[in-house]
């Protein structure tokens, strides 16, 4: 988020999101959409998940959710080759854009200023208050609205530094070519079928984040929120009295 430019008149408009954040956010959202839907298309080829090194029809599956319906898979009609083309085209773009975003955000202070917790923010009392505020849909106003809340920092940080890296690394760990190149990667996840299961769990954790994320955007005022992510400009909500 940029520095708020003080303005005398209400409503106060500030530059909230940097160009790098906005570009990455929408590119990433589009890629995740392709990856999730094509991933479900791939999953439909063998809708069973296992733990360990191996797993096929005669082995014990820990999850058998059935096939995902066409309205949520890419392509809509079952086509494993096409789903893999989408998935494996989007995956490297996701990987490199995330790496660039991480380094860029380190350089321009986005991580330190906006994503890292500040002193005192993680105190149980503060976190509890933030949870209560979110549950009551009391979103921050005035100066406080210029920064992410603790829950926002926690969930955005988890997406950027945990869920996306885990999805990427387990995706690569499922590759027999990468297994020969980087044998440690598949060992890290306990075998290929474990990597596949963790990949699936990470994908659904991202989807769960997205549902809450989008709900919060809708509740917090979608126009102002989405404008701030598109153009950077954000109207600071008037301070509650």
Partner 1 sequence: MTRLLSRRALVLGGAAALAGCDRLARHETVRDALFSADNFHKWAQRGLMRPDALAHEFRPDQISPFFRANGTANPDTPAYRALWRSGFADWRLRVGGMVARPLSLSLAQLHAMPHREQITRHDCVEGWSAIGKWRGVPLSLILDAARMHGRARYVVLRCADDMGGGARYYESIDLIDAFHPQTILAFALNDRPLRVANGAPLRLRVERQLGYKHAKYLMAIEAVESLSGIGAGKGGYWEDRAGYDWYAGI
Instruction: Tell me if 66 contacts partner 1 by CB under 8 A.
Output: no
Instruction: Tell me if 14 contacts ligand HEM by CB under 6 A.
Output: no
Interaction with ligand HEM in 109-148: which residues (CB under 6 A)? 114, 148
Q: What is the C-alpha separation between 74 and 36, in angstroms, rounded?
A: 9
Q: Give me the least distance between CB of 20 and ligand HEM, in Å please.
A: 9
Locate 136 and state its tokens: 């009551």
Q: Give me the least distance between CB of 241 and ligand HEM, in Å please.
A: 22
Q: What is the C-alpha separation between 100 and 95, in angstroms, rounded?
A: 9
Instruction: Tell me if 168 contacts ligand HEM by CB under 6 A.
Output: yes
For residue 27, with 0-12 CB atoms within 10 Å meaning exposed, 13-18 middle and 19 or more buried, which class applies? Answer: middle
Stretch that binds ligand HEM, among 6-14, 59-67, 70-78, 165-173 (CB under 6 A): 165-173
Interaction with ligand HEM in 175-204: which residues (CB under 6 A)? 175, 196, 199-200, 203
Interaction with partner 1 in 152-211: which residues (CB under 8 A)? 172, 174-183, 186, 192-193, 196
* Interaction pattern, residues 29-58, with partner 1; x per rule: CB under 8 A: ----xx--x----xx-xx-x----xxxxxx
233 forms beta bridges with: 15
Cα angle for residues 229, 233, 236 (degrees, 5° grid): 105
68 phi/psi in degrees, rounded to 5: -80, 140
Distance of CA 101 to the CA centre of its chain: 13
Q: Which residue of 7, 11, 19, 29 would you call a contact of ligand HEM, by CB under 6 A?
A: 29
Locate 12 and state its tokens: 């106060």
166 forms beta bridges with: none
Find where tokens 């499922």 sit.
174
Q: What is the C-alpha separation between 23 and 27, in angstroms, rounded?
A: 6
> Smaller CB distance to ligand HEM: residue 126 or 139?
139
Binding residues for partner 1 (CB under 8 A): 33-34, 37, 42-43, 45-46, 48, 53-59, 71-76, 79-82, 84-86, 88-89, 92, 172, 174-183, 186, 192-193, 196, 214, 218-219, 222
């Amino acid at each position: 988020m940029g520095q708020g430019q003080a303005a005398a008149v209400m409503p106060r408009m500030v530059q909230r999101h940097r160009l790098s954040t906005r570009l990455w956010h929408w590119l990433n959202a589009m890629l995740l959409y392709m990856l999730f839907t094509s991933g479900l298309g791939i999953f439909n080829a063998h809708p069973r998940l296992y733990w360990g090194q191996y797993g096929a029809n005669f082995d014990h599956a820990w999850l058998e959710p059935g096939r995902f319906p066409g309205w949520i898979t890419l392509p809509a009609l079952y086509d494993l080759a096409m789903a893999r083309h989408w998935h494996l085209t989007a995956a490297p773009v996701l990987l490199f854009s995330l790496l660039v975003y991480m380094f860029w955000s380190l350089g321009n202070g986005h991580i330190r200023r906006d994503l890292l917790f500040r002193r005192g923010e993680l105190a149980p009392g503060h976190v509890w208050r933030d949870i209560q505020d979110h549950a009551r849909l009391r979103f921050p106003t005035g100066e406080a609205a210029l920064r992410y809340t603790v829950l926002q920092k926690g969930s955005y940080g988890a997406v950027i530094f945990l869920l996306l890296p885990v999805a990427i690394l387990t995706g690569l760990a499922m590759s027999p070519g990468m297994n020969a190149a980087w044998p440690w990667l598949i060992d890290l996840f306990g075998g290929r079928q474990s990597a596949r299961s963790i990949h699936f769990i990470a994908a659904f954790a991202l989807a769960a984040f997205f549902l809450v994320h989008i709900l919060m955007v809708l509740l917090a005022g979608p126009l102002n929120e989405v404008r701030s992510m598109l153009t950077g400009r954000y109207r600071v909500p008037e301070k509650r009295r």
